Structure 1
Amino acid sequence: MPMIYLSEVVRYYREPSDGFSAYSSDPLHDELPNETRPGDARTEDIQPSLNIASYDPVRANSNARRSLVNEVTIESLLSPAQSGSISDIGENRLRQDDPVQVRQLVDSPSSYALPFSLGLAASRNASRLPEPSMPITSEESAHLFSLYLYETGTWCETTDSERHFTLSSVHQMLASKSFLASAIALASRQRDAVQDQQRSLTLELYQYTIQLLLRQDPDEASVAVLATCTLLCVYEMMASCVWEWRRHLKGCASLLHSRKWNGSCSGIVKSCFWAFARIDVWAAFISCKRLLIPTDSWVDNSSIPLVAANGTLDDYCNLAILVFARIVNLRADAQLCHRDSDSVYYSSVKNLWDELQEWWRLRPKEVCPLLRETPMGTNPFPAVIFSRSSSICGNTFYHAGSILLLQSGCLRRRVETPDSIMNPVWHARELGGISVSNISHPNWVNQLQPLYIAGTAFSENHVSFFQSTTGRDQSTRVSSCLEVPWGRPVPPVAADINDKYASEKIALLKQLARIESETGWKTSDRASELRNLWGFR
């Protein structure tokens, strides 16, 4: 069998840290190597930094230790099947005036490199690479794995009541050295963040995990490899730029696609899929892009009434994530639409709104709040307490999605719809109440972007996360996504917002600070953006 070259991330070992913000991502230029646009430089000319964790300053000083094989070309990184999928773009001669169609094909999971393809050439006929040694003692490894079991591992179980990452499947997964390595690397990174320290050990553990993955045969990738790469996605999401998340996410997407795994599978695969999906949703949201896996392949049954009647509570709550993912995809497509396409997008917004409200109406009893109390005293948020982690997650995505659709300016009030449901401020307060009332770290690390969305509802600038690029500079960055759709104004919700929502703003900032303090999950960048949006000095 000829040698198959796997991924270009070998360049990472040869380039210094770029120091980008966790949200530094140009929505029109961060899809390398799969996507190029007219007028863009070729990827081989750009050679962007491929640092896996750009927030680790240790990396800037560790170049002397980085010595791997020579850089390989993009063409050599792909298997024959993957190379064919890229050449098909030219053969199919897509209409150049249909950017949505072009993007959907370019972003097909079949064009992504596999997750264990992170730097070296692998082949069944190649001699095996020497086994790397664990960079820490067994005692320290046990301590970090304990932190994983009780903290970071639970972050992947937000809608997994069976707790496969830390309970049901963890004994099976520990047979994989790469899984153990990724688990302790993530725990080490979280410990560093909580203690506000930078240890070289964390980077060494990460590199050790990568070295173990390089020894994986692509044709024999197991569920342990999928779980390992899922944990690496979480590792990156803690502080790295969105572009770095999508490197690992594309690898997971490729493995899921090649194995035909989706959110309807069972066991650890299902848990991995939904952990991947939540990260992909927020990466796409931040970068104004479509998700990596088409939403119509996420589950075998997406009927809300049927799942409400026959599915599990986890399945039902995952449907809220699915609807939100479609909202994010619509938002990405809205950037590419023309003014004569407005009716299509108005109809799409309406359909997604109806689907989201159907999810709200048909919630099983266990998905509804166990206790709800109206705000009292100086507390601006209601007490909204749930008995299950998945219920917290599902309702979080419902309220965040409702705010986005209401801010689109495409919805009309209906007589049968309660006023509160049509008010983004009500949804924002519910989001604040859910986060403050439920001390759930797995949900807290998922609530950074929802709380940011809630914060926009308290702004006097009536922002919309839907935008059109018609007649605008095509180099617009993510921060410009706060615009009115197609140039149409969104009517104000109330007057004198600055004074009226002062307590909500302060409470929201306090909750974001608490999340970062207790979990190590970086929230300060989004908090700073909210301060700027609100005019705080």
Structure 2
Amino acid sequence: MLSPSHPKCPEGPLKKARDISTPRTAARKIVRTRTGCWACRRRRKKCNELRPICSNCSRNGEACEWGVRLSFRDENILTIPQNRPSLRQDLTSLYDGGPIRVVNITDEVIRDYWSEIRAEDDLCENLTNRTMTTSDNEWRDSNGVMTSDICSSNNGPADAQTPHSQDIIQLAAAQLLDLGAGEPSVTTSMMGSGPSPTHLGDLIPPLSSVDNDTSATADAGISPESLFADDGIFLPGSTYFELHSALRNHIFDTARSACPSLWPSPCLRPSDVEPMPETNAQGISDTAAMPPNQQPEQAFRSSDSNTPAIIELSKQEEYALWKNWVDEIAPWLDKFDRDCHFQQKLPALANIHPHLRSSMLALSARQLERKHPERSSSASLALYQEAVHQLVPQLQTKLTDVVASCVVLCVLEMMSCSPQMWRRHLDGCACLIRSLGMNGFSGGLEQALFWCFTRMDVCGGLISSESTLIPTAEWTPKMSLTEAVELFHRTPGADMYANFVVFLCAQALELFACDDPEAEYTRRWSELFGHIERWYAQRPPDMHAVLSQPANAKHEAVTSGSPFPTLLFSNPPAISGNQLYHTAALLMLQKRPRRAVLPPATRPILWHARRICAISICNTHHGCWTNSVQPLWIAGQVMSHPAEHRAIMNIYQRIQNETGWGANWRAEDLKAHWSQLDGD
């Protein structure tokens, strides 16, 4: 028998291996931590954390600095101070039969959240005094929301900011989540000489419902810091921005609600609940002065009885605004509507619904102010303010007149805001329209409102290179693209044929924004391009040009020396419809996939671009001009001759001067594009 120590013994190597694998008692390894000194952490060296100087810093002769370990301290806890109005109320009054007093401190909580802790005590004291002193004509609804009257006069100088306007600026800055707090606009400071703006803190929803569209603007090249800094008159802190934010958030809330209400919010039926009496500073009940037969809308309007919008309009001023609506604004909005709902139907509804009346007059006033910059903007601001106050409590009814007011106010905001922010000013109305199930074949006024909004939606999509806010699948009753195309072809009238090309243009924007594989994208592109070319080939006679002449020396007098051909149409649907066709075809050719096969006799990109410019130069319908700003920019990027550049600049200047619609911003973009091509 072999001994275990013999080399051939099987236990010998195993025992030796076990002896080798037995771990030695090693020294404790220093583990890298995140609590070392700043020098070691910066150099990513292990720190033995000897204080006041660690070994590494002592060896290298460096200053050893240590960070402050974070900890929660009792003195930093944010709680409601004891001097809050809600905590200073006598709770015993709730049980001894005394009147219940609801104090709204939402504004104070929002402002304190973003304020420095050191200034908290002073701010609380000022806001407490303002909240405790209520006027005789303040009105609170059943939910405790308070709406204050508009101050009819100002005690300070014209250029001074009142504490009231300062509160509005602070609240708007808090609503922006501290992204773009800036100086108040000229509109805000100008209000010192006129009626003071209404305090809308009670109308603004919580901060959780504020802007969720920053990602889309970031994709379009807009930084979050400049998200609101360049939004026309809708600057942070301005009254326009305050009113727009309030209306936008309330529209979102209305669109999210499941079923419509038959009564406006926040008011309730007088027969269902009787408001709890509330005494003012003189001990007189506010509700006692309200007539018992007053309707809910009148009850809400009683809080705004001093609003200067309609009351302070003279007969001559009101006549001028209505005449401008009939002569200028309504033809803009009715350019694709043979029944002229905006010119004939809406004025009749405005006599019944005050919010629609204020919205229409506000748009008319704003267009005159844009066309004549020397005019003061106080009239449109007061009317816009009145429209928002009258519209907010009616949103829950979800009636057609409410949608009409929202669409009209969207047009006002499109005219006044920065074009890069169009989608923010359209998204609320888009949600409301989608929640009501309106589409392009609803019929009547709803159909006219839908197509008016979708034209703005397509223009916004062309600017931001995104799909429309209302998906194209919801523009028609539920059906496929081929079925929808056949439905449009079966529908008579030049107005619906023009709406058809708006639909095709929206389809193109949706196609460009998709992430389909190359094969699927090629199939969809070929199908859509075939529909677009079929639209042009099968146009009804009234969609054809009355006069079509090539560009040459003989016809320079016709188009004032324009280098583009002459294309004259007889009606607005033909003008904008053909221009949108050329725009859609140009974009489709620019986005053509490699494997796509073009139909025979397909026109080149330059042909479409030249006809886009020719349509705007030869046809001076103002409503069609407002929709041509973006197509001209798309076509202008293809042009290279200086004469073509001058002609495009001239038509941009005419559009802005004669309509008040912003166009020079695109002219400047084209100049920058051309200078890059020239290497300047």
1:57 pairs, out of 163, 181, 186, with 186
- Per-residue deviation, 1:331: 2.7
1:241 pairs, out of 404, 413, 418, with 418
Structure number with larger C-alpha Rg: 2
Aligned to 1:153: 330
Could you tell me whether the CA contact under 8 Å between 1:370 and 1:385 is conserved in 2?
yes
The reply to whether residue 123 of structure 1 matches residue 295 of structure 2 is no
Deviations, residues 60-115 of structure 1 (Å, cap 9, x unaligned): 5549735233553155799xxxxxxx9xxxxxxxxxxxxxxxxxxxxxxx994448
The reply to whether residue 14 of structure 1 matches residue 197 of structure 2 is no
Q: Secondary structure at the match of 1:395?
A: helix
1:417 pairs, out of 573, 591, 600, with 600
Amino acid at match of 2:524: S
- Per-residue deviation, 1:283: 1.5
Cα distance change of structure 1 residues 76 and 393 upon mapping to structure 2, 3 Å threshold: closer
Could you tell me whether the CA contact under 8 Å between 2:430 and 2:469 is conserved in 1?
yes
Distance between the aligned counterparts of 2:539 and 2:401, measured in 1?
A: 34
Q: Secondary structure at the match of 2:637?
A: helix
Aligned to 1:269: 446
Aligned to 1:341: 517
Q: Note the residue ranges of structure 1 that are not aligned, 5 or more in a row.
A: 6-10, 19-41, 79-85, 87-109, 459-497
Amino acid at match of 1:332: A
Aligned to 2:390: 212
Cα distance change of structure 1 residues 138 and 411 upon mapping to structure 2, 3 Å threshold: farther
Could you tell me whether the CA contact under 8 Å between 2:362 and 2:380 is conserved in 1?
yes
Aligned to 1:435: 616
1:72 pairs, out of 186, 205, 217, with 205
Aligned to 1:281: 458
What are the within-5 Å matches in structure 2 for residues 342-357 of structure 1? 342-357=518-533
Distance between the aligned counterparts of 1:17 and 1:2, measured in 2?
A: 24
Distance between the aligned counterparts of 2:182 and 2:337, measured in 1?
A: 32
Distance between the aligned counterparts of 2:472 and 2:591, measured in 1?
A: 21
Distance between the aligned counterparts of 1:77 and 1:45, measured in 2?
A: 8
Q: Secondary structure at the match of 1:151?
A: helix
Could you tell me whether the CA contact under 8 Å between 2:549 and 2:567 is conserved in 1?
yes
The reply to whether residue 528 of structure 1 matches residue 668 of structure 2 is yes
Q: Secondary structure at the match of 1:347?
A: helix
Distance between the aligned counterparts of 1:170 and 1:409, measured in 2?
A: 46
Could you tell me whether the CA contact under 8 Å between 2:583 and 2:631 is conserved in 1?
yes
The reply to whether residue 179 of structure 1 matches residue 362 of structure 2 is no
Distance between the aligned counterparts of 1:393 and 1:292, measured in 2?
A: 21
- Per-residue deviation, 1:275: 1.0
Cα distance change of structure 1 residues 222 and 403 upon mapping to structure 2, 3 Å threshold: same
Higher deviation after alignment, 447-456 or 253-262: 253-262
Cα distance change of structure 1 residues 184 and 49 upon mapping to structure 2, 3 Å threshold: farther
What are the within-5 Å matches in structure 2 for residues 364-513 of structure 1? 364-377=540-553, 378-410=561-593, 417-419=600-602, 421=603, 423-458=604-639, 498=640, 501-513=641-653
Amino acid at match of 1:360: Y
The reply to whether residue 359 of structure 1 matches residue 535 of structure 2 is yes
Distance between the aligned counterparts of 2:398 and 2:187, measured in 1?
A: 31
Could you tell me whether the CA contact under 8 Å between 2:265 and 2:396 is conserved in 1?
no
Amino acid at match of 2:187: V
The reply to whether residue 318 of structure 1 matches residue 489 of structure 2 is no
Amino acid at match of 2:531: E
Amino acid at match of 1:508: I
With the length of structure 1 as denominator, give the TM-score of the two structures.
0.70
Could you tell me whether the CA contact under 8 Å between 1:4 and 1:77 is conserved in 2?
no
Could you tell me whether the CA contact under 8 Å between 1:114 and 1:252 is conserved in 2?
no
Q: Secondary structure at the match of 2:407?
A: helix
Number of residue-to-residue matches in the alignment: 425
Could you tell me whether the CA contact under 8 Å between 1:13 and 1:66 is conserved in 2?
no
Q: Secondary structure at the match of 2:548?
A: strand
Cα distance change of structure 1 residues 455 and 175 upon mapping to structure 2, 3 Å threshold: same
Identity of aligned residues (%): 27
Distance between the aligned counterparts of 1:278 and 1:433, measured in 2?
A: 21
Cα distance change of structure 1 residues 173 and 62 upon mapping to structure 2, 3 Å threshold: closer
Distance between the aligned counterparts of 2:502 and 2:166, measured in 1?
A: 33
- Per-residue deviation, 1:441: 0.7
Could you tell me whether the CA contact under 8 Å between 1:513 and 1:524 is conserved in 2?
yes
Cα distance change of structure 1 residues 168 and 372 upon mapping to structure 2, 3 Å threshold: farther
Cα distance change of structure 1 residues 361 and 214 upon mapping to structure 2, 3 Å threshold: same
Q: Note the residue ranges of structure 2 that are not aligned, 5 or more in a row.
A: 1-140, 146-164, 213-249, 258-263, 269-274, 276-298, 554-560
Could you tell me whether the CA contact under 8 Å between 1:403 and 1:457 is conserved in 2?
no
Amino acid at match of 2:501: A
With the length of structure 2 as denominator, give the TM-score of the two structures.
0.56
Cα distance change of structure 1 residues 44 and 375 upon mapping to structure 2, 3 Å threshold: closer
Amino acid at match of 2:168: R
Q: Secondary structure at the match of 1:372?
A: strand
- Per-residue deviation, 1:235: 0.7
Please tell me the root mean square deviation across aligned C-alpha atoms, in Å: 3.7
Distance between the aligned counterparts of 1:288 and 1:43, measured in 2?
A: 28
- Per-residue deviation, 1:371: 2.1
Q: Secondary structure at the match of 2:388?
A: helix
- Per-residue deviation, 1:359: 1.1
Could you tell me whether the CA contact under 8 Å between 1:448 and 1:523 is conserved in 2?
yes
